[in-house]
Amino acid sequence: MTQRFYSHGKLLLTGEYVVLDGALSLAVPTKRGQILEVTPLETSQITWQSFLENDTLWIDETFKLPLEKTLDSEDTVLIRLHHILREVQRLNPNIFKKGVSFKSRLEFDKSWGLGSSSTLITNIAQWAVISPYELLENTFGGSGYDIACAAAQGPISYQIINSLPQNKKVVFNPNFTEELFFVYLNRKQNSRESIQHYRKATTNNVETAIQKISKLTEAIISCDSITVFEDLMEQHESIIASIIKTPTIKEQLFKDYPRCIKSLGGWGGDFILATGGAQERTYFQNKGFDTIIPYREMVL
């Protein structure tokens, strides 16, 4: 019998980078996610098919059981997938006693950075009855906020306390969401490289910055004024810029933009959050950024 699993995509509105070191952060699940269908097989093999959001077959591969320690391939995507399956087998040794057919389907463009990896990890972990956080840590790494978003039904606060992930449902539905929209920067940011850059840049103690970001997160969650919201977000941008020693996206690309721009996730790619209306959206379109998604269309 086929089992079906679903996980939501994610966006981190506050706390990028410093979420790794305990900052309180605001994260939101997206309306688009990833589906995984799992069907038992009577053969001694694992078949895997991944479909993109436009129904294009992206991965079509068969792995023999038992899984070998290494995969003889130069395809980094297949190597990563094999690694994930091996780790699933390690965490649940009885999971691949028989063959299995996997079919995954993304609902968003895999270059958008909404969590093609985290939604996959969460879906597989649900099926295998293992910890998605442990599976993530042993494969991709990261803070785990994306795992929390995958199962969330609305905005959450997320924080790592004593090395343990803590997330809580929060009410974040400000009356100015019509003035919020996301803009794709036409390039995918590598999360692992972003984390490495953060680790190299933060040679000094960042505890003070973490405390400031945590307070800003609390203020942003309870904010009911677009003017105050923009001020809080600009403060947030300034703090992170000083930590990672990188100019803000607004300074780099949109110096003349009249409203607020907030980087999301790894700076330099994926989506940004911007404030404004129709005129401001036209500003980005005129600069060649055509993927513009209103807040309410993106966020669950």
Distance of CA 200 to the CA centre of its chain: 22
The residues with which 8 forms a beta bridge, in sequence order, are: 33
Q: What is the pLDDT of residue 206?
A: 82
Which residues have CB under 8 Å from 3's CB, separation 6+?
37, 38, 39, 127
Burial of 290 (0-12, 13-18, 19+ CB in 10 A): exposed
Strands 45-51 and 99-106: parallel
What is the torsion angle, in degrees rounded to the nearest 10, for the CA atoms of residue 147, residue 157, residue 274 and residue 207? -100
Look-up: residue for tokens 């989506």? Answer: 271
Series of mean pLDDT values for 10-residue runs along the chain (300 residues): 97 94 96 98 96 96 91 90 96 94 97 94 98 95 94 97 94 95 85 65 75 97 96 96 90 95 84 96 96 97
What is the C-alpha to C-alpha distance for residues 173 and 216, in angstroms, rounded to an integer?
17
Assign 3-state DSSP to the chain and report helix, strand, coil percentages, each to 5.
Answer: 40, 25, 35
Q: Pick from 134, 139, 165: which is nearest to 152 by CA? A: 165
Q: What angle do CA 192, 75, 118 make, to 5 degrees?
A: 40
Cβ neighbours, 10 Å, residue 31: 14
27 phi/psi in degrees, rounded to 5 = -130, 150
pTM of the model: 0.92
* pLDDT value for 201: 63
Report the C-alpha gap between 65 and 69 in whole angstroms.
11
Q: What is the DSSP string of 202-261?
A: --S--HHHHHHHHHHHHHHHT---HHHHHHHHHHHHHHHHHHHT---HHHHH-TT-SS-E
Nearest-angstrom CA–CA distance, 92 and 85: 10
Q: Do residues 51 and 41 lie in contact, with contact meaning Cβ atoms separated by under 8 Å?
A: no
Could you give the domains of the chain? 3-169 (3.30.230.10), 177-298 (3.30.70.890)
Could you list the beta-strand ranges (E) of 13-98: 25-41, 45-51, 57-64
Q: Please, are residues 217 and 23 in contact by the beta-carbon 8 Å criterion?
A: yes
Determine contact, residues 119/166, Cβ cutoff 8 Å.
no
Please work out, in degrees rounded to the nearest 5, the angle formed at the alpha carbon of residue 31 by the alpha carbons of 119 and 195.
45
Dist. CA 34–CA 37, nearest whole Å: 10
